Structure 1
Amino acid sequence: MTGIINYGAGNIFSLTAALDRLTIPYGMIQTESELEAYDRIIIPGVGHAGAAMRKLQATGLAESIRLLKKPVLGICVGMQLLTAYSEEGDSPLLEIIPLKTLHFEKRIAKKVPHMGWNQVFHENRSALFADIKKDAYFYFVHSYFIEYNATFTAAFTDYGLKFSASIQDGNFYGVQFHPEKSGEAGERLLLNFSNL
């Protein structure tokens, strides 16, 4: 069963609606002890990475997440939390994947935030993207991005610069886009995660 970390910084409704459509069973996690009950974990998130990190620390979940050996999927800010550092609030994060979360501003000539549908090109054969077209479209809403890195990038997107649309290190996965709002490709990705 899939556990959703409900720490007050998540896009919980749209995510649970997508899981309901796909008949993927799930439950909510609010304390460290509840992590044990689930086979895989989703960390959703919208808004400010630094504030989200402080909420995870306040619940006592931050250290427990770092130690997890089961599959973990961070979505949007949940993905950014897996990185080492965010320019948003000059914040250290979970430091699971040694990448930085950076602001688009002053790095691109395009409109910020990056909002809407964009192509995602997966690489490194991540199981998250099984049976998904190599250049499928997913839905994005973000002002901060994770730097591209050939070792940890599972998929990339170009929005004035090439950035990590998805990252992976071992059992930790992240997606910057919102699979729950990305139609058929997003639903396939959520199904793939539920089968890990």
Structure 2
Amino acid sequence: MSTVVVVDYGMGNLRSVAKAIEHVAPEAEVRVSSDAAEIAAADRVVVPGQGAMPDCMRELSARGLREAVVRAAAEKPFLGICVGLQMLFGHAEEGDVMGLEILPGRVPRFPGEAMAAPDGSRLKVPHMGWNQVQQVEAHPLWDGIEDGARFYFVHSYYVEPQSPEVIAGSTHYGIPFTSAVARANIFAVQFHPEKSAQAGLRLLGNFMRWNP
């Protein structure tokens, strides 16, 4: 039986992520855990996140989970969601804090005062609601998901990878931004698949079947 741990560091809608995974992979053992040993023993690891980046990084370290997450990202199928994507990178403008630096790049804030919709109306920050994701590269986690499918977003900051080779998905909100990244055993998304209806469930199911 495959085991998947949803990492509990006190930030994020952990139960809804776990329930969505249970729905698409009923044969799997799904655990929400803040135990580094359980993370190390899991076959797959999911790191969700909501809230401010400084709080997320502080809680990750305070709970002794930083090294466990870094190791999981190096060794096994790893899915980052929202702040779970952002923390993979380096400097974040939110709170002037450093992420885990697993992927080179930074996390800037949307330039809200300069962003406009195609009709000229001003766009609000945070970016909240449904938006399209263009698939930049083929990947097993996109299997069965239409290019340009809509996913649910809630964020004021976005990742800016240093290396374009890791960009797996792109979205436009005033400016084009990276909404999914992939490298080796890592896949991470800015949107919330657990809130994204059938496309989101399909992505989670693909993750549970993925063997990088």
TM-score when normalising by structure 1: 0.94
Deviations 1:140-182 (CA, angstroms, capped at 9, x unpaired) = 0111111265211110001011111101122121110000010
Q: Is the 8 A contact 1:116 1:141 kept in 2?
A: yes
**Counterparts of 1:130 and 1:102, CA distance in 2:** 30
5 Å matches for 1:84-123? Answer: 84-105=90-111, 106=113, 108-109=115-116, 110-123=123-136
Unpaired segments ≥5 residues, structure 1: none
Unpaired segments ≥5 residues, structure 2: 117-122
Q: How many residue pairs align between the two structures? A: 196
**Counterparts of 2:127 and 2:195, CA distance in 1:** 15
Supply the RMSD in Å over aligned alpha carbons. Answer: 1.5
5 Å matches for 1:15-54? Answer: 15-22=17-24, 23=26, 24-54=28-58
- 1:159 pairs with 2:173: yes
- In our comparison, the structure showing a higher alpha carbon Rg is 2
3-state SS, counterpart of residue 95 of structure 2: coil
Q: Is the 8 A contact 1:43 1:78 kept in 2?
A: yes
| 1:5 aligned partner | 7
Identity %: 42
State the 4+ residue runs in structure 1 displaced beyond 6 angstroms: none
Once the 2 structures are TM-superposed, how far is the Cα of residue 16 of structure 1 from its aligned partner?
2.1
Once the 2 structures are TM-superposed, how far is the Cα of residue 107 of structure 1 from its aligned partner?
5.2
| 1:137 aligned partner | 150
Decide which of 150, 166, 172 is 2:186's aligned counterpart: 172
Decide which of 132, 141, 152 is 1:128's aligned counterpart: 141
TM-score when normalising by structure 2: 0.87
**Counterparts of 2:150 and 2:54, CA distance in 1:** 28
**Counterparts of 1:45 and 1:55, CA distance in 2:** 11
**Counterparts of 2:91 and 2:46, CA distance in 1:** 20
**Counterparts of 2:29 and 2:153, CA distance in 1:** 25
- 1:181 pairs with 2:185: no
Q: Which moves more between the two structures, 103-112 or 32-41?
A: 103-112
3-state SS, counterpart of residue 199 of structure 2: helix
Once the 2 structures are TM-superposed, how far is the Cα of residue 54 of structure 1 from its aligned partner?
0.9
Q: Is the 8 A contact 1:113 1:141 kept in 2?
A: yes
Once the 2 structures are TM-superposed, how far is the Cα of residue 18 of structure 1 from its aligned partner?
1.4
**Counterparts of 1:65 and 1:15, CA distance in 2:** 17
Deviations 1:74-107 (CA, angstroms, capped at 9, x unpaired) = 1011111111121110010110111211111345
